[in-house]
């Protein structure tokens, strides 16, 4: 009874949040297309800076890939949290701590954190409420963009271009027109980019010569499964497999079997694994069942809830014709997209049948997570619809269209940047950095040399992957020749290989926050985003608790009153460490090694510097103004 009441309350809260946005304005300072990780962060940041903001979200929940797509195990190797991402995760941890639950439940490692999708979405909605809150239109899409011709200034050169001034939105009640000063595309596919006329990349092709046959990464339709100690309810245990189950059965036998291996703390993982080890990989905290599973316990049998996101990539081993990955047509062709997503959903439904019938486990979808039939499931048999209505509403999309900006960030630049201050290397920081992340160059298929762009190669995934934390520069958010428009998700101006490290939930939330700050400063200054100085955006982000510099000083910790100012000084080369980590101990921490978070902390401690005497005579804001004037001379 308690579980049903909780689910009903959650539905009522979602309806209340939807109602919040019905009294709409005719015009907004900022419109954000997509309420995923990047879009929600952009909206919150811009709203907190006094902007009138409208979020247009296609599902009934905020969070995108982290919630609506069910990837709520955080892919974060940076060892640090800051800004809105830190605020979000602190709220997540507080929620579960109050219930005696740990959030270190995934990846067989206590350093990694996770949450239940519905809880993450609710916390994001709470963060987006209050006196300075964005309006939110759920179950709606931007379907058109209004522009006007302008003269654009790009890299000091003048050229003709366009400026976004309005959007057309499809709501459940019909279409509406909304004027805006800045539009942010934070959709999962980069769907708004073509509507603006902005140049973009898809796979390794570039407008106007987009190739529908170019390849992009697999998608995954995840599932949230949980253990039913008293047996799976009949309506969650289908009697008849879906067509093509036999193919899926052989696929899943390569990943998980009854007598498979237990994770032994080494990579690559020995496969197939047993079911308990599978569950611990994407393990989630469980609000309802007793106990407190933690992923470092080694007792994987204690895990009672997991995300299914392993072995069910689509097309995965099935391939697309004779190629791995999906064609760019998946992004460009609405009819093909619908067909692919239906097949991806069915592939994961096969796994649920496999678990119940091949493995004999009392597990099924968690009926408290989602309760709305995805569009991709509309023509399934009735008994499978009862399962599918508790599936995530959207798939996990790893690769979208990407804007062409004045700068396109490559994997080589990420590699050099990540070496800053390591092993005797000096400052390779981006002076216009707006976020810090860390992840490998991870492409799920479509990674052969012929699939790459920007002269990159498959071998870079192992030979040139980031050596540690890396920065994201401001100019990758800004498209060429289109004003009033920004990117804030997986659609920023990066190469395919660099996108493999920048597509994860933590860094998209950070780049989204930066896009929101840039949009707000553009409106406040009555200027275009490309004309806003990076240092002004950085000052706003630092005030919001965002970390921007890769160089950390032991005598200026995060709570130090000059911490933010010293970060700016690092970025613009005004401070020089007395020594760099590892320069006197060559080989102790090679850049080709995977370094633990503890090793990273020790490396940082070696980068000591004596902070110059600073006075109270000039605020950081005044110093920023002075720096901007100096740059303009």
If you average pLDDT over residues 485-508, what whole number do you get? 97
Q: How far is Cα 561 from Cα 274, in angstroms, rounded to an integer?
A: 51
Express as a percent the part of the chain with pLDDT over 70: 85
pLDDT of residue 13: 47
- Per the CB < 8 A criterion, the answer to whether 65 and 75 are in contact is no
Kindly give, in sequence order, each residue whose CB lies less than 8 Å from that of residue 41, ignoring residues fewer than 6 positions away.
Answer: 83, 84, 85, 488, 509, 510, 512, 513, 516
Share of the chain above pLDDT 90, in %: 75
* Alpha-carbon gap, residue 511 to 37, rounded angstroms: 9
Residue-level pLDDT at 561: 87
The pLDDT of 338-349, averaged and rounded, is: 98
Q: What is the pLDDT of residues 392-436, one digit of tens each?
A: 999 999 999 999 998 999 999 999 999 987 776 677 899 999 999
Give the pLDDT band of residue 619 (cuts 50, 70, 90). low
| Closest CA relative to residue 101, chosen from 295, 299, 292, 280 | 292
Mean pLDDT of the chain: 88
Mean pLDDT of 339-361: 98
Confidence of residue 609 (pLDDT cuts 50, 70, 90): very low
Short-list 194, 112, 203, CA closest to 398? 203
pLDDT band, very low/low/confident/very high, at 566 (cuts 50, 70, 90): confident
Render pLDDT for 515-525 as a digit per residue (tens, 0 to 9). 999 999 999 99
Pair of tokens at residue 500: 């493999």
What lies within 8 Å, CB to CB, of 446 at 6+ separation is: 203, 215, 216, 217, 218, 323, 324, 325, 326, 399, 496
pLDDT band at 528 (very low <50, low <70, confident <90, very high): very high
Measured distance CA(623)–CA(49) in Å, rounded: 20
Q: Is this model's pTM higher than 0.85 or not?
A: yes
Candidates 507, 522, 473; CA nearest to 493 is 473
CA distances from 95 to 102, 286, 348, 351, 547 (A): 10, 12, 30, 31, 24
Q: What is the dihedral of CA 329, 332, 335, 341, to 10 degrees?
A: 70
Residue 627's pLDDT band (cuts 50, 70, 90): low
Question: What ranges do the domains of the chain cover?
Answer: 219-397, 409-475+533-632
Q: Does residue 307 or residue 581 have the better pLDDT? A: 307
Q: What pLDDT digit, counting tens, does each position of 471-495 carry?
A: 999 999 999 999 999 999 999 999 9
Lowest mean pLDDT among 276-280, 431-435, 443-447, 606-610: 606-610
pLDDT recorded at residue 553: 74
279-299 pLDDT, tens digit each: 999 999 999 998 899 988 778
Q: Is the pLDDT of residue 123 over 70?
A: yes
Residue 368 has pLDDT above 50, yes or no: yes
With a cut of 60, say whether residue 592 has pLDDT above it: no
Q: How confident is the model at residue 631 (pLDDT cuts 50, 70, 90)?
A: low
- Section 73-96 average pLDDT: 93
Is the pLDDT higher at 581 or at 406? 406
More confident residue, 576 or 331: 331
Q: What confidence category does residue 594 fall into, taking pLDDT thresholds of 50, 70 and 90?
A: very low
Range scoring the smallest mean pLDDT among 137-151, 152-166, 318-332, 376-390 = 152-166
| pLDDT in the model for residue 623 | 58
E strand or H helix that includes residue 51: none
Angle between helices 534-543 and 563-571 (to 10 degrees): 150
The CA-CA-CA angle for residues 620, 626, 628, to 5°, reads 105
Kindly provide the b/e burial profile for residues 81-115, where b requires at least 16 CB atoms within 10 angstroms of the residue's own CB. Answer: bbbbbbbbbebbbebbeeeebbbbbbbbeeebbbb
């Amino acid at each position: 009874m308690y579980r049903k009441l909780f689910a009903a309350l959650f539905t009522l809260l979602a309806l209340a949040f939807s109602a919040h946005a019905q009294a709409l304005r005719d015009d907004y300072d900022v419109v954000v297309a997509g309420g995923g990780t990047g879009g929600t962060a952009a909206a919150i940041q811009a709203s907190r800076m006094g902007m009138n903001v409208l979020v247009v979200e296609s599902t009934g929940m905020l969070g995108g890939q982290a919630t609506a797509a069910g990837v709520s195990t955080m892919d974060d190797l940076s060892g640090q949290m800051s800004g809105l991402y830190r605020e979000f995760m602190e709220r997540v941890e507080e929620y579960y701590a109050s219930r005696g639950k740990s959030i270190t439940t995934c990846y067989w490692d206590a350093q990694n954190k996770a949450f239940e999708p519905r809880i993450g979405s609710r916390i994001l909605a709470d963060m987006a409420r209050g006196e300075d809150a964005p309006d939110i239109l759920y179950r709606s899409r931007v379907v058109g963009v209004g522009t006007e011709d302008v003269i654009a200034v790009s890299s000091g050169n003048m050229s003709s271009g366009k400026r976004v001034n309005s959007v057309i939105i499809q709501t459940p009640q019909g279409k509406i027109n909304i004027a805006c000063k800045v539009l942010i595309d934070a959709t999962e596919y980069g769907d708004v980019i073509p509507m603006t006329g902005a140049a973009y990349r898809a796979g390794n092709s570039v407008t106007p010569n987009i190739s529908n046959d170019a390849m992009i990464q697999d998608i995954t339709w995840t599932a949230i499964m949980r253990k039913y100690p008293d047996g799976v309810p009949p309506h969650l245990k289908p009697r008849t497999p879906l067509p093509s189950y036999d193919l899926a059965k052989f696929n899943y036998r390569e990943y998980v079997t009854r007598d498979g291996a237990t994770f032994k703390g080494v990579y690559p993982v020995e496969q197939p694994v047993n079911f308990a080890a599978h569950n611990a990989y994407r393990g989630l905290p469980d609000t309802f069942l007793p106990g407190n599973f933690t992923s470092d316990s080694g007792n994987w049998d204690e895990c009672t809830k997991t995300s299914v996101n392993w072995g069910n990539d689509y097309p995965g081993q099935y391939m697309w014709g004779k190629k791995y990955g999906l064609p760019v047509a998946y992004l460009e062709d609405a009819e093909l997209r619908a067909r692919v997503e239906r097949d991806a959903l069915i592939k994961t439904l096969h796994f649920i049948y496999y678990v119940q019938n091949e493995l004999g486990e009392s597990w099924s979808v968690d009926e408290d997570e989602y309760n709305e039939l995805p569009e991709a499931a509309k023509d399934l048999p009735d008994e499978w619809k009862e399962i599918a209505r508790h599936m995530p509403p959207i798939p996990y999309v790893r690769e979208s269209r990407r804007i062409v900006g004045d700068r396109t960030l490559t994997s080589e630049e990420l590699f050099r940047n990540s070496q800053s201050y390591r092993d005797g290397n000096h400052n390779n920081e981006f002076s216009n950095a707006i976020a810090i992340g860390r992840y490998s160059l991870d492409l799920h298929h479509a990674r052969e040399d012929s699939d790459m762009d920007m002269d990159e190669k498959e071998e870079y995934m192992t030979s040139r992957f980031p050596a540690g934390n890396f920065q994201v520069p401001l100019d990758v958010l800004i498209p060429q020749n289109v004003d009033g428009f920004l990117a804030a998700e997986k659609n920023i101006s990066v190469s395919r290989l660099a996108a493999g490290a920048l597509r994860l939930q933590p860094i998209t939330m950070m780049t989204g926050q930066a896009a929101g700050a840039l949009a707000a400063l553009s409106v406040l200054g009555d200027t275009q985003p490309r004309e806003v100085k990076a240092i002004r955006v950085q000052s706003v982000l630092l005030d919001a608790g965002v970390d921007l510099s890769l160089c950390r000083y032991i005598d200026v910790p995060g709570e130090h009153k000059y911490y933010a100012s010293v970060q700016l000084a690092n970025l613009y080369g005004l401070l020089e460490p007395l020594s760099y980590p590892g320069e006197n101990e060559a080989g102790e921490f090679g850049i080709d090694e995977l370094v633990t978070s503890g090793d990273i902390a020790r490396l940082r401690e070696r980068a000591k510097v004596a902070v110059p005497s600073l006075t109270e005579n000039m605020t950081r804001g005044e110093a920023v103004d002075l720096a901007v004037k100096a740059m303009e001379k």
